[in-house]
Amino acid sequence: MKTLIVGAKGQLGRGLQATAPADAVLTCVDVDELDITQPDAVRDFVAQEKPDLVLNAAAYTAVDKAEQEEELALAINGTATGTLAQAARDVGARFVHVSTDFVFDGLSGVPYAPDAPTGPLSAYGRTKLAGERLAGPDALIVRTAWVYAPTGGNFVRTMLRLMAERPEVRVVADQIGTPTYAPGLAAALWTMAANGVRGIHHYTDSGAASWYDFAVAIQEEGLAAGLLTQEARIVPIPTSAYPTPATRPHYSVLDKASTFDALGGPTPHWRANLRVMMQEIKAQG
């Protein structure tokens, strides 16, 4: 299966390469090889490669910066998604696009189903929702949340660094979601694509947590793995005590029932995958 991975140098892009099936013939590009905001370049590249599958892991993910750069964020998260999707259709390839929990308003008291009404609170959320709509009804669109990996910039690695440097870390306790281990998400995308799944689905690890809960678990697992040598005091704070340019949803747990059906079972609990990541970091030295 000839596969084009777009956004290959990001957390998910690296995960897609690491979990690729044995029969996958990969072409992996990032912005330095293909600027997806250039429609002619995208069409020409995809027409030349003629992939069977296009996996779009590219995104503008600077959530706060997007408040000042919504036009750029829309060009990457929205317009370019439509260009990639059409280029894939032109060569008969399946198209897989990754979206976000930020398309929701965070006011629900129960996990958001794939067909739940959207209502993004931020420029980032608006541009990602635009990308979903431009991907088209024949695409596989997978919304995820709180993604982290052993490499790259993410909450887990930031917390490990701060906990090693500071006696106290303050963490928001009133935003609820679910952490997602990037390699697990990547493996699920491969499986769903191979099974011909289409439409909008949700993928995160199982369970739910606040950022504070997540930070506490990071410290506990970091100490157990020997990545931390002493405890920092973790202080729960409200969102109001940590103002940001972009408004985050207070509750963004995703209903994954359709995904569990497609994968043949539930995803691992987020705490179990956090432990896996700690061992990965430890193995890397």
Q: Which residues pair with 202 in a beta bridge?
A: 143
pLDDT of the residue at 44 = 96
Q: Which pLDDT score, from 0 to 100, does residue 109 have?
A: 85
> Is the pLDDT score of 41 beyond 90?
yes
pLDDT at 53 over 80: yes
Single out the catalytic residue among 124, 148, 181, 212.
124
Q: What angle do CA 218, 220, 224 make, to 5 degrees?
A: 115
Round to whole Å and give the CA distance between 203 and 206.
9
Label the pairing between strands 2-6 and 53-56: parallel
Mean pLDDT of 170-181: 96
3-state helix, strand, coil in the chain (%, to 5): 45, 20, 40
- CA dist 12 → 150, 151, 186, 198 (Å): 11, 10, 6, 20
Confidence of residue 45 (pLDDT cuts 50, 70, 90): very high
Nearest to 255 by CA among 247, 271, 266: 266
Q: What is the model's pLDDT at position 62?
A: 93
The pLDDT tens digits of the residues spanning 61-94 come to 999 999 999 999 999 999 999 999 999 999 999 9
What mean pLDDT comes out for the span 30-59? 95
Torsions phi, psi for 257 (to 5 deg)? -55, -45
By percentage, how much of the chain surpasses pLDDT 70?
100
Which domain CATH number covers 275? Answer: 3.40.50.720
pLDDT at residue 151, rounded to an integer: 85
Query: Could you say which DSSP state residue 138 is in?
Result: T
The average confidence (pLDDT) of the chain is: 95
Structure tokens belonging to residue 76: 């990457």
**Which residue range(s) make up the domain with 216?**
2-284
Residues 191-208, mean pLDDT to the nearest whole number: 95
DSSP for 61-129 reads --TTGGGT-HHHHHIIIIIHHHHHHHHHHHTT-EEEEEEEGGGS-S--SSPBPTTSPP---SHHHHHHH
Residue-wise pLDDT for 231-248, tens only, equals: 999 999 999 998 899 999
- Whether the CB-CB separation of 16 and 189 falls below 8 Å is answered with yes
Strands of the 2-6 sheet, one edge to the other:
25-29, 2-6, 53-56, 94-100, 140-144, 199-202
Gap between the Cα atoms of 12 and 184, Å rounded: 9
Give the tokens for residue 12: 């998910």
pLDDT at residue 101 greater than cutoff 80: yes
**Domain count of the fold of the chain:** 1
The candidate with the shortest Cα–Cα distance to 93, out of 55, 59, 57, 131, is 55
Both tokens of 228, joined, read 């931390």
pLDDT, residue 153, reads 86
Percent of residues, the chain, with pLDDT higher than 90: 93
Tell me, yes or no, if 181 is annotated catalytic. no
Average pLDDT over residues 138-143: 96
Cα–Cα distance, 131 to 227 (Å, whole number): 38
